[in-house]
Amino acid sequence: MFHWLERNPFFFAVGVFIVIAYAGIVTILPDFMNSARPVVGTKPYTVLQLAGRHVYIKDSCNACHSQLIRPFKSETDRYGMYSLSGEYAYDRPFLWGSKRTGPDLMRVGNYRTTDWHENHMLNPAEIVPGSIMPKYPHMFKNVADIETAYAEALTVKKVFNVPYDKSGMPKLGTLEEAKAQALKEAEEIVANMKSPEVKEALKRGEIKEIVAIIAYLNSLK
Amino acid sequence: MNWLNDNVNMLALLGAAAIILITVFVVAKYIKQMKEDKSTGELAEENWDGIGEYKNELPIGWSLAFLGTIVWGLWYFLIGYPLNGYSQIGEYNEEVQKYNTKFENKWANPDEETLMGMGEGVFFVQCAPCHGVTGDGINGKAADLTVWGSEAAIVDVILKGSKGLNYPLGEMPAGLLQGDDAKAVAAYMVEKIAKLGKSKNPDLVAKGESLWAVCAGCHGQNGDGMGGNSPSLKNYGKPEFVVDVLNRGKAGNIGVMPKFNDGRLSDIQKLAVGKYVNSLSQ
Amino acid sequence: MQPSRMINYDYTVAKYFAIAAIILGIVGMLIGVFIAFQMAYPELNNLAGEYGTFGRLRPLHTDAVIFGFLLSGIWATWYYVGQRVLKVSMAESPFLMFLGKLHFWLYLVGVVAVVISLAMGITTSKEYAEFEWPIDIAIVIVWVIWGMSIFGLIGIRREKTLYISIWYYIATFLGVAMLYLFNNMAVPTYFASGGIGDWWHSVSMYAGTNDAMVQWWYGHNAVAFVFTVPIIAMIYYFLPKESGQPVFSYKLSILSFWGLMFVYLWAGGHHLLYSTVPDWVQTMGSIFSVVLILPSWGSAINMLLTMKGEWGQLKENPLIKFYILASTFYMFSTLEGPIQAIKSVNALAHFTDWIPGHVHDGTLGWVGFMIVGSLFHMAPRMFKREIYSKKLMESQFWIQTTGIVLYFSSMWIAGITQGMMWRATDQYGNLAYSFIDTVNVLHPYYVIRGLGGLLYLIGFMMFAYNFYKTMTASKAIEKEPQFASPMAA
Ligand code: HEM
Ligand code: HEM
Ligand SMILES: [Ca+2]
Ligand SMILES: [Ca+2]
Ligand SMILES: [Cu+2]
């Protein structure tokens, strides 16, 4: 009957490929340009925030936390305004997550603060009794990787025309300038922190991971 | 938790039941066939490693169900969530509008008890993560709301100063008054300015009045904050003051409290949580 | 009638992969059990500094089971089934033999690189595509080698018509190749920035919503082409082979196959319901998910009907039990999935524990049982010995089945409770529960899930022991049996 195809592996494989290939084209491509457009006011991450984002990814916070507020009243009451496509225009990769073991963090910058995060990341269960979130003391020891963050920012600027160094947008400049800028942002955050270890390190010009991740969390609005 | 009032929850439960039922039904059917039927049919000529193949027809039930899902798919596409007529944001707007109308009708003039209940609910979800479930501020990590708004707290403010509400006058310096003087001003403020009831040190009220000038320079003779240049002390320890804190945020000495003006709390909810917060210290 | 038995099949590579599957299965599931208990007892996060936290271990679990246990299992069966249904031995082609071994050893290098990099926190965060670009390249090379091995073997085949299993192996190869390439498109930042920062770091070619669409086009179909298609390849060979029954219907096979190929790729939108992807893409995701029930069930029904009139075997041969329960769980999860894909249900189910519940219905009941069952069937034929213990196999079956039931029933309750508490309001219209309330109620279910997982792991260890004994200490057999596997009581 249909055995012809099953006797011709080449055409069989071509047939399979055609059948599986075009769904992606039809569903992904039509809105591709639209979905990539930022909403007004969205800015790329500063180098320090990007370094924090890398810490977030490194420790897979996205395994437990979503960053996607769905348009339901119960979610907007809890987390704030529902998400818009254009707000993610500079998110590479996206960090929507697929599981909410912990709460959504899309707008956590609106309702939690530096000092709170400092206490919470050190020992979540002390701040929120019953929390099952791990402690992250190592973030107070590890140094944030500003160079890789800078490399990423420079890459997306060059390759994807992300508007760094445009007016009203974060400044990138040279690596040295970027490092100085990151230190300045870090100082503002550390001013609201208590850990002597972190403060000492900053004086030596070292930015701990905890500072970077707080910069990132504060930027989520 | 009125689970069953919500038709989506109903659907989920029905779906769950359907899964179990259908699976049990279908599996039972095939088990029965495995038990009773005999395998029959015309064998194909091929044989792979000893495996043969019947040329049986498609099972009718399966074919019909396949068609059925395709019909359902068309319905879903054209009527259920019509391609051009459905928007999830539109659906959200309707949900919120419906809720708001209902809320306004029901709680237009909430009584005390309603506000307390509502405030308690808001507090546990929005405030407890920082201030703790009892409001004690978790060992000084946020303001201790079991004290804040009381006479003792006023003394504390006078001794330590205050900052972070972001008023034009900026910070209130520490140590404007000491010892009994501070207690006296607090007593006066409780009885005469904020009108929070009886002071614990009624005998100091008079002395407090005489020292009030220290405060009046910024807060005004009657404590009204001089037209928004500093907080109105008439409201201190009242829900209105808490609402003010919620709208302005507070970058204080222990830490920072964020603003709550992004729409997550309605005005009534803010007032309600203010009432609840005040009840913690009074 | 049995010319195939004259051929001396060479199972070297199949054996390698079988052993890899068992070892990586134990590793992956051990981590699974551990992270399950971490969710019940968070102190377990602090045992190994930053390397022991849930966030670091979870991707290790998923990737160890998917790219370790599953892929090894798939390849073990390919290097076994492929030769037999194509009626050609790998020994006939030194080149294919070399490719097979290269395939294995390169893969093993990849596994080591993956474990080290994930433990260090080197990840791109995309689910089931966590690896950075150097590993991606290694994976592509391994994949191409496998492709050469497939088409090489097909090229020298004696059996002209491709058996159903081969269709599915080909589809696995093509599907994963296409999906993996597109989802992992990234720019290495070290090179693009002129030598700054970590050399292995890269940044995704897609941003935000687009990245999400590509990811779940991949993610959903990774489920299709790794958790489903190659496992169907297995059941189409091992069930008829072990039972000696001809496949119920060729027409059903062919319609299910092409139906599955066509429908699967459209369903990825069900991972993005109520997100910021366009409404119509979401709607397509829901619809195709429901239509998908039928091509999925087609294969399962075809297998169940193959056992028509053979009820006795189900009772006597524990291997048949594994296959039948697997296809039942396959039907179960391909009905549960579409229900979760309906918008209003997904609004409740998404982000909750019901999703991992659904996941493990499929992975433990369908994938796990099929791989175990397949390796059991292969063992006596690869090692020319009886299966070491039928009794052990029986107990394993029941222990693992209990484990699965505990797993999914606890996660159902947990997920639905969680979903309802997130949206519950009090009489004033406030949210009724703070987030932590919704975490605390789940504790008992997390404990039950952990115990269920532990039972499954114990069962799997019993399998490993049984397999090892079969390999080394069981009674030798002279002639390979045509059908039912020989096993000692
Ligand atoms: C007709 C077939 C199926 C459909 C329509 C389906 C549908 C779904 C849906 C709606 C989700 C949840 C998405 C979310 O809300 O987050 C999901 C998740 C998942 N399913 Fe299925 N499912 C099917 C079969 C299977 C099978 C057989 C397996 C495994 C053997 C499986 C493995 C998974 C996995 C691993 C996830 C989790 C993805 C993530 O990380 O979020 N599915 N599926
Ligand atoms: C011993 C048995 C196992 C246990 C105890 C276990 C436990 C877990 C746990 C606790 C999670 C995380 C769930 C969450 O974040 O809420 C998980 C995720 C996952 N596991 Fe397992 N697992 C086991 C076996 C397996 C097997 C054999 C496979 C695949 C063949 C598998 C595939 C997955 C996948 C794909 C996910 C991600 C699900 C998602 O993102 O929704 N697991 N597992
Ligand atoms: Ca997931
Ligand atoms: Ca990758
Ligand atoms: Cu899917």
How would you write A67-113 as a 3-class SS string?
A: CCCCCCHHHHHHHCCCCCHHHHCCCCCCCCCCECCCCCCCCHHHCCC
The burial of B101, by beta-carbon neighbours within 10 Å (0-12 exposed, 13-18 middle, 19 or more buried), is given as: exposed
Distance of CA B253 to the CA centre of its chain: 25
Name which of C32, C20, C186 is nearest C111 in CA terms.
C20
- What's chain C's average pLDDT? 95
Q: Is the pLDDT of residue B4 over 70?
A: no
CB A101: neighbour CB atoms within 10 A?
Answer: 22
Find the C338 Cα to ligand 5 centroid distance in Å: 9
Quote the tokens at residue C98: 């070399």
Question: Which whole number is the average pLDDT over A147-153?
Answer: 97
| Dihedral sign for Cα atoms in the order C386, C388, C391, C393 | negative
User: In chain B, which residues have their Cβ closer than 8 Å to the Cβ of A110?
Assistant: 258-259, 262
- Distances in whole angstroms, Cα of residue C153 to Cα of each of A77, A95, B49, C79, C357: 60, 42, 16, 10, 39
**Model ipTM value:** 0.93
Predicted local distance difference test score (pLDDT) of residue A2: 63
Chain C residue nearest residue A64, CA to CA? C55
Question: Which whole number is the average pLDDT over A72-101?
Answer: 95
Predicted local distance difference test score (pLDDT) of residue A74: 94
Topology, domain C4-191+201-472: Cytochrome C Oxidase; Chain A (1.20.210)
Helix (H/G/I), strand (E/B), else coil: B43: strand
Is B47 inside a domain boundary? no
Q: Token pair 């993956």 is at which residue?
A: C114
Chain B residue nearest residue A130, CA to CA? B129
pLDDT, one tens digit per residue, over A181-194 is 999 999 999 999 99
Cis peptide before B231 (omega within 30 of 0): no
Identity of residue B99: Y
Predicted local distance difference test score (pLDDT) of residue C487: 93
Quote the tokens at residue C120: 């260090």
Choose the closest CB to A128 out of B91, B129, B262.
B129
Q: Is the pLDDT of residue A161 over 60?
A: yes
Predicted local distance difference test score (pLDDT) of residue C1: 40
User: In chain B, which residues have their Cβ closer than 8 Å to the Cβ of C255?
Assistant: 58
- Could A112 and B258 be called an inter-chain contact, meaning their C-beta atoms sit closer than 8 Å? yes
DSSP C6: G
Angle between helix C208-222 and helix C164-183 axes, rounded to 10 deg: 160
- What's chain B's average pLDDT? 89
pLDDT, one tens digit per residue, over C30-81 is 999 999 999 999 999 999 999 999 999 999 999 999 999 999 999 999 999 9
Range with the poorest average pLDDT among A167-171, B85-89, C89-93, C464-468? B85-89
Residue C333 beta carbon below 6 angstroms from any ligand 1 atom: yes
Is B271 inside a domain boundary? yes
Name which of A72, C431, A112, A129 is nearest B122 in CA terms.
C431
pLDDT, one tens digit per residue, over C234-270 is 999 999 999 999 999 999 999 999 999 999 999 999 9
pLDDT, one tens digit per residue, over A4-17 is 888 999 999 999 99
Distance of CA C339 to the CA centre of its chain: 21
**8 A C-beta contact, residue A127 and residue C245:** no
Find the C214 Cα to ligand 3 centroid distance in Å: 15
Domain boundaries, chain C: 4-191+201-472
**8 A C-beta contact, residue A84 and residue A96:** no
Alpha-carbon distance of C38 to C26, in angstroms, equals: 18
Per DSSP, the residues of C65-128 read IIIIIIHHHHHHHHHHHHHHHHT--GGG-HHHHHHHHHHHHHHHHHHHHHHHHHHTT-----TT
- Which atom belonging to ligand 2 lies closest to the Cα atom of C70? 30
Cis peptide before A93 (omega within 30 of 0): yes
User: In chain A, which residues have their Cβ closer than 8 Å to the Cβ of B92?
Assistant: 71-73, 76, 82
Question: Which whole number is the average pLDDT over B100-113?
Answer: 86
Q: What is the pTM of this model?
A: 0.94
Helix (H/G/I), strand (E/B), else coil: C187: strand
**8 A C-beta contact, residue C357 and residue C453:** no
Q: Is the pLDDT of residue B9 over 70?
A: no
Quote the tokens at residue C382: 């690869």
Alpha-carbon distance of A104 to A96, in angstroms, equals: 9
- Could A151 and C189 be called an inter-chain contact, meaning their C-beta atoms sit closer than 8 Å? yes
Range with the poorest average pLDDT among A64-68, B10-14, B144-148? B10-14
Split at pLDDT 50, 70, 90, the class of C461 is: very high
- Could A28 and C258 be called an inter-chain contact, meaning their C-beta atoms sit closer than 8 Å? no
Quote the tokens at residue C358: 């659904």
Choice between B3 and B63, residue whose per-residue pLDDT is larger = B63
Q: Token pair 């991707």 is at which residue?
A: C59
Question: Which whole number is the average pLDDT over A131-135?
Answer: 97
- Could A101 and C266 be called an inter-chain contact, meaning their C-beta atoms sit closer than 8 Å? no
Choose the closest CB to B117 out of C4, C339, C428.
C428
How many percent of chain B have pLDDT more than 70? 96
Predicted local distance difference test score (pLDDT) of residue C365: 96
Name which of A88, A17, A38 is nearest C213 in CA terms.
A88
Split at pLDDT 50, 70, 90, the class of C5 is: low
Choose the closest CB to C201 out of A19, A151, A160.
A151
Find the C228 Cα to ligand 1 centroid distance in Å: 11
The burial of B1, by beta-carbon neighbours within 10 Å (0-12 exposed, 13-18 middle, 19 or more buried), is given as: middle
- Distances in whole angstroms, Cα of residue A171 to Cα of each of A2, A153, C203, C350: 63, 10, 19, 38
Name which of C55, C221, C228, A128 is nearest B132 in CA terms.
A128
pLDDT, one tens digit per residue, over C426-438 is 988 899 999 999 9
Q: Is the pLDDT of residue B24 over 50?
A: yes
Is B36 inside a domain boundary? no
Split at pLDDT 50, 70, 90, the class of B41 is: confident
- Which atom belonging to ligand 1 lies closest to the Cα atom of C350? 15
Residue C127 beta carbon below 6 angstroms from any ligand 1 atom: yes
Predicted local distance difference test score (pLDDT) of residue B264: 87
Q: Is the pLDDT of residue B219 over 70?
A: yes
Q: Token pair 């519950």 is at which residue?
A: C424
Question: Which whole number is the average pLDDT over B20-39?
Answer: 82
Distance of CA B66 to the CA centre of its chain: 45
Choice between B253 and C273, residue whose per-residue pLDDT is larger = C273
Is B67 inside a domain boundary? no
CB C315: neighbour CB atoms within 10 A?
Answer: 9
Which residue segment(s) compose the domain that B224 sits in? 112-280
Chain C contact for B56 (CB, 8 A cutoff): yes
Predicted local distance difference test score (pLDDT) of residue B1: 38
Alpha-carbon distance of B258 to B268, in angstroms, equals: 19
Domain total for chain B?
1
DSSP B51: B
